[in-house]
Structure 1
Amino acid sequence: MMAEQEAGSLKKKKKIIAIAAGEAHTLALTSDGQVYTWGRGTFGRLGNASDLDQLFPLNINFTDQNDSVKITGISAGAYHSLALADDGSLWSWGYNAYGQLGFDGDNSSVPCLVKLPKAGNETERKVSLVKSGGMMSLAVDDIGSLWMWGNCSVQGNSSESEFILDPTPTPMSVDFYGHTVVKVACGSEHIAALVNGEGGDLVCYTFGNNNHGQLGLGDTNMRPNPQMVDKFNARSLWKAYEVACGAFHTCVLTYKRTQSVPLESLCWTFGRGNNGQLGQGTTKNSLYPEIVDKLPENVLLVSVACGLFHTSVVSSSGNVWSWGMENGLGLCPEATFTEGDGGDALSPRLINDVSGPRFSEPVQVACGAAHTVILADGGYKLWSWGRGRSGVLGNGQEADFFSPKAVLWPPPNVEGPETVANNPVVEKDPEEATEIEKKLSVMMDEMNLLHSKLRIMERYASILHGSIFGKPFEEDKDIPLSLQNSGTFDITKEWENMLESCDRGKLIRLQMFYRNMLAGVEDKMMKQRIKEMLKEYLGSSTSTNH
């Protein structure tokens, strides 16, 4: 009985309650207040005191004067991350060129405390919600006021013809005319918020850049201050309950106001649509909110997320639909698809798991620039798909996957009664478990070292390849077939194949490259020969004089 309770306790610690995705990194928050990150490590965005990439989830260390910190909320911008603790404190890490970490200084590879300006009575403001996007950060305090910092639009400007970004590390409050903010989202240069309206209903406001109509106000004029979107006002038939922002588009989930509880949803989008990210069956922009095309009727959508140029939603029954750039996968224009599978998805397409089209007990969907993550099984399992470079999919690989693949959860260094493949294992005594943990730790260190060496070799190969061919090295295209298939490399044969495939321009480039190289070698040889002749002459001259 005691063993079962202990196993249940361990399983509870591994439950994930929230996920977030940045440009090429992913965050997961567990029910016991731990944060795990994986993906690209540049700028310190993973918060693990390193710039190295991480191929599967790794725990972040939060400390405040030697006290443990329990995290209750997370969010990811393009290259930075935010976390909210249960005591109302705010943490940030990653890229800080625009002050999006909330302080003036360099990037940070570890979590740092962010202080909101004190209230009038000099008490510390407590944060209840965090959100980040692009190069900006947002926080809602405990009285419902919104604060923003980083690469933000200038407020208070009466002109609606010019959009100005004013990078600032100091959180600034946003006036919502006395309304309290309940939910908020931000794109590259715009913000959308759901605020309490009359009778407690949520009303949608937007502000910021509007060059593609992403504010949903019927024009392309920027708004320095929040303005209500008429489609989702207090008198509308449709009541908004979720909002998400892509780079230049916005998505709002609604249900009928006549329903006491949400029973069926409508998904509305507006803004830039050139890659089908609006899901309206076209590549046109939309200045007003319009209903997403071809989503099934009578479904309840429980979560929505936007990448740069793609959008995903998940229903209460576990179906996931995506649309936008490259078949709804996001920013993957270089991806190699099978015949007929490529191109942008202008309408929602159903995402299938290996076991079927549904993910049981769905919790949340999150979109990065070019990857998508779904949290399901009540918070105990993760799947991801899209661009896999730098390990952003969390499955231990760096390959692209065009259908869902399980994230390594729990990761190899997390205790628990289950293996990575979620199969039961025989319980071990504490000493044996400790020894296994040590071996896993050594293995992870070796993997990180090998990964670092591979990155250096990739850069070296890319430099050489660029010098010869005038373009960066592409792993999928430029590795010879003989090396890919057999592991052996016939340099003479591959050289002949390369010359055979070159057009006149490439042959001329090669000729110039090797001509310059040969000239350099001959010049160096000539200089060395001159030195040798001078040395011989001086030596013989000295002996003659003697």
Structure 2
Amino acid sequence: MRKTLLTSALATLLGLTPTDASSQSLSAKGSCSIRCADGSMQAWGNNGSGELGTGDYFSWNVPVGVDVPPTVTAIAAGGLAHSAVITATNTLWTWGFNFHGQLGNGNTMDNAVPAEVLTDVVAAATGNFHTLAVRSNGTVWASGINSAGSLGTGDLASSNTFVQAVITDVVAVGAGLENSVALKNDGTVWAWGLNNYGQLGNGVGPSSSLPVQVPVTDVVAIASGRHHVLLLRNDGTVWSFGANLYGGLGHGTTGLSGTPAPVVGLTDVVRISAGEFQSMAIKADGTLWAWGRNAQGQLGIGSVEDTPLPVQVTALPSVAEVSSGVFLGMALTTTGTIWTWGEGISGGLGNGTNATSTVPVQVTLACAVGTAVPEVALVPEMTIGPNPTTGQVAVHTPFTSPLPVRITDLQGRTVQATTVTHQHASVDLSALRPGLYLLTVLSPVGPHVLQVVKE
């Protein structure tokens, strides 16, 4: 439900094509929204607080245009009833429910029209009642409710304008009910706010108004549900912690977990999404997997039975992007089609009805959606090692011809460029500062993105 907007480099790592690398194209909650290929937006579903951004408060069961500025590059409409996007000029725009000041526009009145609230933004996330934004210098800014410390400022004062959290070097953020989570550029994860279900990852205990480190490393993506958190590690495994009443942690049980543990039987994952009480993941082969609460068919598996273990959504064999909402889900396939499933009340499925569906139904759009096809899945196997490295790293490719190599940091900046001239070539990273980097090999059949840790 609460989608995280990623930096362009991190999005590339998770399987977006270079042209779509900065884009999160869809988000589901009680309503849905998508980013069109031309940078415009369409949305549908519940609009009681103006969260569709149409300038009114009428719900729609078919896609309608959103009144956003040209060239939206990333969308995170995952708050309970408020929405946020990032534009090509790195400005953050918000709209919808604003009782706690989560829009960050200086007041607490709902707003059905998108408004600019912050500049120099490269990543953002929306929770139930607060909003998080990452600026290009790695600082985190937050607005909204703070009664449990979800703004990360070291106090409990809520704010209807953006205030700086006490954390740096951040590349991605996630937000839940009143908890927050951040991914640093060294692959570590930090959390703050409400901790009644262990959603800070350091055991069930008191809330924290300051970030505390989660005991998992080598993380490349994060996602937060209402009371639980998902972590994608660089080995393709998913780890989870927090509330687990319906099995949303994927541990095979329904008991909460205050510390991270791996989702059972799930490997080769490239994307994750955390819904209200359910979770979803996409594997490198394009298959979609779901687990947790399913009372309204929000897992898309053709039933309404909860499941504490991942189950494949067989109706969608080739998925590029997914968003899990409150009682519904939405996916973008590699062929550019949009599908929804779950609760259809207020038109949440966007197929012209208000009916619920336990299997995916296709949404007809008035625009083309840029497909986030995982190009790397089409490229023959490449490996690097040692990883982590203190200097030299060997790149093993199946190609005999010279291949360009680009190395970027998690802000998307190119820090080094070179060429590998044979199948077992070395790349010297000794000049780079310690941290997490992306090594992109441009092969004849497409780019292959590899993560490397410089010590």
1:42 maps onto 2:48 in alignment: yes
How big is the shift at 1:62? 2.8
**Contact 1:310-1:329 at 8 Å conserved across structures:** no
Q: Tell me the distance in 2 between the aligned counterparts of 1:135 and 1:21.
A: 17
Q: Tell me the distance in 2 between the aligned counterparts of 1:189 and 1:415.
A: 35
Which residue in the other structure is 1:10 paired with? none
Q: Secondary structure at the match of 1:390?
A: helix
How big is the shift at 1:249? 0.6
Which residue in the other structure is 1:369 paired with? 326
Which residue in the other structure is 1:110 paired with? 113
How big is the shift at 1:31? 2.6
- Cα distance change on mapping 1:41 and 1:374 into 2, 3 Å: same
Which residue in the other structure is 2:317 paired with? 358
Q: Tell me the distance in 1 between the aligned counterparts of 2:227 and 2:54.
A: 31
Q: Tell me the distance in 1 between the aligned counterparts of 2:134 and 2:30.
A: 25
1:193 maps onto 2:191 in alignment: no
How big is the shift at 1:343? 3.1
Listed one character per residue, the Cα deviations across residues 32-74 of structure 1 (whole Å, up to 9, x for unaligned) are 21111111111111111121111122121235xxxxx321111
Which residue in the other structure is 1:293 paired with? 264
- Cα distance change on mapping 1:272 and 1:328 into 2, 3 Å: farther
**Contact 1:324-1:330 at 8 Å conserved across structures:** no
Q: Tell me the distance in 2 between the aligned counterparts of 1:40 and 1:377.
A: 27
- Cα distance change on mapping 1:311 and 1:329 into 2, 3 Å: farther
Q: Tell me the distance in 2 between the aligned counterparts of 1:219 and 1:254.
A: 23
How big is the shift at 1:415? 8.8
Q: Secondary structure at the match of 2:240?
A: strand
How big is the shift at 1:302? 1.8
Q: Secondary structure at the match of 2:276?
A: coil
Which residue in the other structure is 1:140 paired with? 134
Query: Where does 1:174-323 land on structure 2 (aligned, <5 Å)?
Result: 174-176=165-167, 179-197=168-186, 202-232=187-217, 239-256=218-235, 265-295=236-266, 299-323=267-291
**Contact 1:389-1:399 at 8 Å conserved across structures:** yes
Q: Tell me the distance in 2 between the aligned counterparts of 1:193 and 1:184.
A: 4
Listed one character per residue, the Cα deviations across residues 144-168 of structure 1 (whole Å, up to 9, x for unaligned) are 111010113435558xxxxx5x432
Q: Tell me the distance in 1 between the aligned counterparts of 2:219 and 2:327.
A: 27
What is the one-letter code of the residue matched to 1:347? L
Counting matched residue pairs gives: 346
- Cα distance change on mapping 1:71 and 1:405 into 2, 3 Å: same
**Contact 1:303-1:315 at 8 Å conserved across structures:** yes
How big is the shift at 1:87? 1.4
What is the one-letter code of the residue matched to 1:267? V
**Contact 2:291-2:299 at 8 Å conserved across structures:** no
What is the one-letter code of the residue matched to 2:275? G
Pick one of 298, 303, 306 that aligns with 1:344.
306
How big is the shift at 1:18? 3.0
Q: Tell me the distance in 1 between the aligned counterparts of 2:43 and 2:145.
A: 24
Which residue in the other structure is 1:72 paired with? 73
Q: Tell me the distance in 1 between the aligned counterparts of 2:153 and 2:353.
A: 48
**Contact 1:39-1:53 at 8 Å conserved across structures:** yes
**Contact 2:154-2:166 at 8 Å conserved across structures:** no
Report the structure number with the largest CA radius of gyration.
Answer: 1
Q: Please report the TM-score for the alignment, with normalisation by the length of structure 2.
A: 0.71
Which residue in the other structure is 1:384 paired with? 340
How big is the shift at 1:305? 0.7
What is the one-letter code of the residue matched to 1:37? A
Which residue in the other structure is 1:437 paired with? none
**Contact 2:224-2:230 at 8 Å conserved across structures:** yes
How big is the shift at 1:89? 1.7
**Contact 1:307-1:330 at 8 Å conserved across structures:** no
Q: Tell me the distance in 2 between the aligned counterparts of 1:375 and 1:348.
A: 19
What is the one-letter code of the residue matched to 1:111? P
Q: Please report the TM-score for the alignment, with normalisation by the length of structure 1.
A: 0.60
Listed one character per residue, the Cα deviations across residues 233-278 of structure 1 (whole Å, up to 9, x for unaligned) are xxxxxx211111111011101133xxxxxxxx11111111111111
What is the one-letter code of the residue matched to 2:132? L
What is the one-letter code of the residue matched to 1:312? M
- Identity over the aligned pairs, expressed in percent? 28
What is the one-letter code of the residue matched to 2:171? V
**Contact 2:24-2:76 at 8 Å conserved across structures:** no
Q: Tell me the distance in 1 between the aligned counterparts of 2:343 and 2:132.
A: 27
- Cα distance change on mapping 1:405 and 1:22 into 2, 3 Å: closer
Q: Secondary structure at the match of 2:346?
A: helix
Listed one character per residue, the Cα deviations across residues 429-486 of structure 1 (whole Å, up to 9, x for unaligned) are xxxxxxxxxxxxxxxxxxxxxxxxxxxxxxxxxxxxxxxxxxxxxxxxxxxxxxxxxx
Q: CA RMSD in A?
A: 2.6
Q: Tell me the distance in 2 between the aligned counterparts of 1:358 and 1:22.
A: 20
What is the one-letter code of the residue matched to 2:253? T
**Contact 2:296-2:328 at 8 Å conserved across structures:** no
Q: Which runs of 5+ in 1 are unaligned?
A: 1-12, 64-68, 116-124, 159-163, 233-238, 257-264, 417-546
Which residue in the other structure is 1:82 paired with? 84
Listed one character per residue, the Cα deviations across residues 501-546 of structure 1 (whole Å, up to 9, x for unaligned) are xxxxxxxxxxxxxxxxxxxxxxxxxxxxxxxxxxxxxxxxxxxxxx
Q: Tell me the distance in 2 between the aligned counterparts of 1:62 and 1:366.
A: 21
Q: Tell me the distance in 2 between the aligned counterparts of 1:327 and 1:54.
A: 23
Relative to structure 2, which stretch is displaced further, 323-332 or 166-175?
Answer: 323-332
**Contact 1:327-1:345 at 8 Å conserved across structures:** no
How big is the shift at 1:342? 4.1
**Contact 1:55-1:390 at 8 Å conserved across structures:** yes
- Structure with bigger strand share is 2
Query: Where does 1:515-526 land on structure 2 (aligned, <5 Å)?
Result: none
How big is the shift at 1:187? 0.6
